[in-house]
Amino acid sequence: MSRLDQIVDLEKRFLLSTYNRYPVAFERGKGVFLYDFEGRKYLDFVAGLGVNALGHAHPRIVKAIREQAARVIHLSNLYYNEYQGQLAERLCQLSGLDRVFFSNSGTEAMEGAIKLARLAGHKTAGDAKSQLVALHGSYHGRTFGSMSLTGQEKYRKGFEPLLENVTFVEQNNVAALHAAVNANTCAIVLEPIFGEGGILECSEEFLLACRTLADHYQAALIFDEIQCGLGRTGKIFAFQSFGVVPDIVTIAKPIAAGLPLGAFLSKEHFATTISPGQHGTTFGGGPLACRVGLEYLAIVEQERLLENVDRVGGYLHQQLQELVAKYAATREARGRGFIQGLVLDIPARPLVEQALAEGVLFNATQDTVLRFLPPFLLQEKHVDKGIKVLKKLLGKKRKKTHNVAEAATASL
Ligand SMILES: *Cc1c(COP(=O)(O)O)cnc(C)c1O
């Protein structure tokens, strides 16, 4: 029995069957590459679903973890540690928001954000101010609060009853937004760029309307930047490219370079509605994760990784657009920086499996979207390798090459 077969067999017997994994197990990684148990090398365009922004085994992260693990890993939130405040300060400087709560995951960051918005709503206008407005097609996580805000039937079905008072609006439909938001709204919740939902951006006009309505009705504007935030768009926060500042923003995936850490950041007005005892966590904000979070932000800055995301992301987008112009099975290239999607006319998963056999890792979402969430270290030569494999797998060329504008129109 191969090592992979042993691993698969054991999981089949002892794990809840919640994942539809690809047939590969990895032993280690270095930079933008992963290695399986036979020593085969894979180029990584997935980065652990956007978590491994610094790639694998970054020497500074390894060093910080080693040092801190030898000093203290966990203390609980009964006591102070030297890193939680420092990481909060840095996140506030970078975002312009005022206060931070640390969780262990994205979905928990969402739960905290909803709780804060409900508290503030009740304080402003009584218990009736509890309605949440979210978007169709969104993804916010798997716990009851965030699942209730997730506008996709497949994630909600079977788990009802969910959180009450959630209204869904179509992304970028300003009229529908106006119809949904009222004096009982305590929060408007959205991803500025849908990640799992297929790399779909909110328009600036729509985000601006959200901002105006939230201000008018004293509701919290909550941005879920768990996937698009912390550098993936080429800015530390995605909202910084859209010119609309939220009241609360949630982050998680890359912040502690693979250790579990999430957070929500809040403006003072909302933050001050919560008192000791009303929210908390055992693990969140521990010294190890927060020290690594500080190191993550320092590395992104000192290695000028956002410039790399901008430049190589632009190159990737251009290469994907060329595929759309040439290959019959492609429809549209979407996204920016290192959060991009290639919309196909065919199911994406078989393509991901074939690419795996070619030594390149892609991700499939929404059945027909190939998603690219590479490490920030990715270079042009890696893009070339990925595109070469895609060209091989996409097969038939279009009858006559037509330009990207035509392809984009055809997909509408
Ligand atoms: C991944 C993700 C979440 C959930 O984060 P978990 O750490 O898996 O709980 C929420 N929102 C968005 C946009 C995500 O991409």
* Residues 142 and 12 reside in one and the same domain: no
CATH number at residue 156: 3.40.640.10
Closest protein CA for atom 8 of ligand 1: 106
| C-alpha 328 – ligand 1 centre gap (Å) | 33
| C-alpha 46 – ligand 1 centre gap (Å) | 15
Residue where a domain stops, chosen among 302, 322, 349: 302
- Does residue 309 belong to any structural domain of this protein? yes
* Residues 313 and 372 reside in one and the same domain: yes
Residue where a domain stops, chosen among 270, 302, 334: 302
* Residues 343 and 246 reside in one and the same domain: no
Q: What's the whole-model pTM score?
A: 0.96
Atom index in ligand 1 nearest the CA of residue 146 equals: 10
What integer pLDDT is reported at residue 404 of this predicted model?
Answer: 54
Range of the domain at 37: 3-58+304-394
| C-alpha 77 – ligand 1 centre gap (Å) | 23
What integer pLDDT is reported at residue 399 of this predicted model?
Answer: 83
Atom index in ligand 1 nearest the CA of residue 108 equals: 9
* Residues 85 and 96 reside in one and the same domain: yes
* Residues 168 and 152 reside in one and the same domain: yes
* Residues 309 and 298 reside in one and the same domain: no
pLDDT one digit per residue (tens) for the chain, 412 residues: 899 999 999 999 999 999 999 999 999 999 999 999 999 999 999 999 999 999 999 999 999 999 999 999 999 999 999 999 999 999 999 999 999 999 999 999 999 999 999 999 999 999 999 999 999 999 999 999 999 999 999 999 999 999 999 999 999 999 999 999 999 999 999 999 999 999 999 999 999 999 999 999 999 999 999 999 999 999 999 999 999 999 999 999 999 999 999 999 999 999 999 999 999 999 999 999 999 999 999 999 999 999 999 999 999 999 999 999 999 999 999 999 999 999 999 999 999 999 999 999 999 999 999 999 999 999 999 999 999 999 999 988 888 655 555 555 444 4
| C-alpha 195 – ligand 1 centre gap (Å) | 9
What integer pLDDT is reported at residue 293 of this predicted model?
Answer: 98
* Residues 47 and 144 reside in one and the same domain: no
Counting the structural domains of the chain, the total is 2
- Does residue 359 belong to any structural domain of this protein? yes
The pairing of strands 330-336 and 360-361 is: unpaired
- Does residue 412 belong to any structural domain of this protein? no
Question: What is the C-alpha to C-alpha distance for residues 358 and 262, in angstroms, rounded to an integer?
Answer: 34
Phi-psi region of 84 (alpha: psi -120 to 50; beta: other; left: phi over 0): alpha
The pairing of strands 166-169 and 185-190 is: unpaired
Question: What is the C-alpha to C-alpha distance for residues 142 and 132, in angstroms, rounded to an integer?
Answer: 17
* Residues 29 and 77 reside in one and the same domain: no
* Residues 170 and 247 reside in one and the same domain: yes
Atom index in ligand 1 nearest the CA of residue 49 equals: 1
CATH number at residue 362: 3.90.1150.10
- Does residue 366 belong to any structural domain of this protein? yes
Structure tokens at 145: 């609060």
The contacts of residue 314 (CB under 8 Å, 6+ apart) are: none
* Residues 10 and 102 reside in one and the same domain: no
